[in-house]
Amino acid sequence: MRKDKNQYSSIYVRVKHVKELDAVRKEIEEMGLHVFTISDQLEDIKKGFLVMDSILGAIGFVALLIAALGIINTMVMSILERTREIGIMKAIGGSDREIKPSFCRSRGHRIYLDQFSGCCLVICLLKLPIS
């Protein structure tokens, strides 16, 4: 578009190959003109995605840390709640090799049940329509 007879508000330049883009850009900037290329916009988009990935990674790390603390808390409370049972088993002559498997079996069944119900919940949520 012309502002007056000897001036243009913008011009569009196309290059045949991407390799020529930097050289043409430098020449236009040496003329004292402002240059905007699609590659500039793509770089800005990449930076935005990098920031978003970093934020989501930090949120995921915090979520994993909280989950680990929850698991540790559950295991500690499990031991504290069953201290009396462990004491009785040891008092009647139970060895560590006999006591540990009983805990693993009882907790193992619970873990598998929790995993199965979690998977079922995820499958049900994925089938819900998003509006």
Q: Give per-residue pLDDT as tens, 60-96.
A: 999 999 999 998 898 888 778 888 888 888 899 888 8
pLDDT of residue 69: 93
Q: Give per-residue pLDDT as tens, 8-66.
A: 777 888 888 888 888 888 998 888 888 888 888 888 999 999 999 999 999 999 999 99
Amino acid letter, residue 59: I
User: Is residue 1 scored above 60 in pLDDT?
Assistant: no
Helix axes 96-127, 83-91, angle to 10 degrees: 150
Virtual CA dihedral for 51, 55, 58, 63, nearest 10 degrees?
-160
pLDDT of residue 117: 92
**pTM metric for this prediction:** 0.50
Residue from 106, 40, 118 nearest 79 by CA: 106
Q: Which residues are CB-contacts of 78 (< 8 A; sequence separation ≥ 6)?
A: 103, 107
DSSP per-residue string spanning 108-124: HHHHHHHHHHHHHHHHH
pLDDT of residue 131: 59
Strand, helix or coil at 53?
helix
Residue 46, token pair as written in the block: 């990449």
Amino acid letter, residue 34: H
